[in-house]
Amino acid sequence: MVQIICLANSKKYGDRCIAGIEIATGKWIRPFSNLEYGQIPLNMCLVDGEEPKLLDILEIPLAATSLGYEYENRAILHGKWQKIGQATVSDLIPYCEGEIIHRQWLNSVPLDFIQSLPYEQRRTLQLIKTTKFHLYNYHHSGKWEADFTTSGGESMRAKITDLNLIEKLNTGIRITHECLLTLSLSQPWRKTDLDEFACWKLIAGVIQLSSYDLILWEMQRLGWSIDKGRSYLKQTYNKRSRQELTKTEIAQFLHHLKSLKA
């Protein structure tokens, strides 16, 4: 059994694509079925009758290897999926990257290039933090794209395949600019027979960051301990925790943290 922090539950050929970070190794894992494209039937990945949610800690029966061009793929074995815990945003900080993978290509990566890499370098999943996140309803079809800028200053547009987020967006809910995104490369695809196969960058998971999350994020970026944070709050606001701050004080504290260099 393998334990992962679930960071993607997206649509794939009418079924599901689940991905996350293995707790024991810190490596990305994509459970891969025996169907043509590795998509996971819904009844295979249900946990107590419900779909996996982002930040769930899942225990999944997986083999050591799998098919497919992606390094992260692991074949699904017979057995029950279980939720054994819940991760927090602060648990993800060590895994967040500053640069978009295969950044020499903006929206899609040629399949030939990926296959030319040593197997362990064929990365197709990553976690990034955004500073800007603008949503677009794709031709008013209920399909969504986003323009985003990463904390490292890179910008691009990608389709959203996060099912939970799409459902929320279609009901009118909107999200803030600062998020954690799981970027995933698609299955190889080409528009015409004259084109080369390419793998498109997709937004497979979105975790919205609250002001409290961002304060913890910035504190860890700076190497601040909880005690140091409390000392600052006591000295500046005569308060001991984030929860005691007013909205104005939260904004001031967050602005101060962001202004500091690590």
Encode pLDDT of 34-92 as tens digits. 888 888 888 888 888 888 999 999 999 999 877 778 889 999 999 899 999 999 998 99
State the pLDDT at residue 221: 86
In this prediction, residue 103 carries a pLDDT of 85
Confidence (pTM): 0.90
Strand ranges (DSSP E) for 171-247? 179-185, 198-208
Q: What integer is the mean pLDDT of 222-249?
A: 91
Mean pLDDT of 86-115: 90
pLDDT > 90 fraction of the chain, expressed in percent and rounded = 58
Which candidate, 218, 211, 262, 248, places its Cα nearest to that of 239?
248
pLDDT at position 22: 96
CA 9 – CA 207 distance, rounded (Å): 12
pLDDT at 100: 92
**120: confidence class by pLDDT, cuts 50, 70, 90:** confident
How far apart CA 20 and CA 40 sit, in angstroms, is 14
**Structural domain boundaries in the chain:** 2-88, 92-211, 213-259
The predicted-structure confidence for 196-218, as pLDDT tens digits, reads as follows 899 999 999 999 999 989 998 89
Over residues 107-113, the mean pLDDT reads: 92
Domain 92-211: top CATH class: mainly beta
* 67: Cα separation from own chain's centroid: 23
Q: What is the mean pLDDT of residues 108-126?
A: 92
Mean pLDDT, the chain, integer: 90
Decide if pLDDT at 167 tops 80.
Answer: yes
Q: Residue 193: what pLDDT?
A: 83
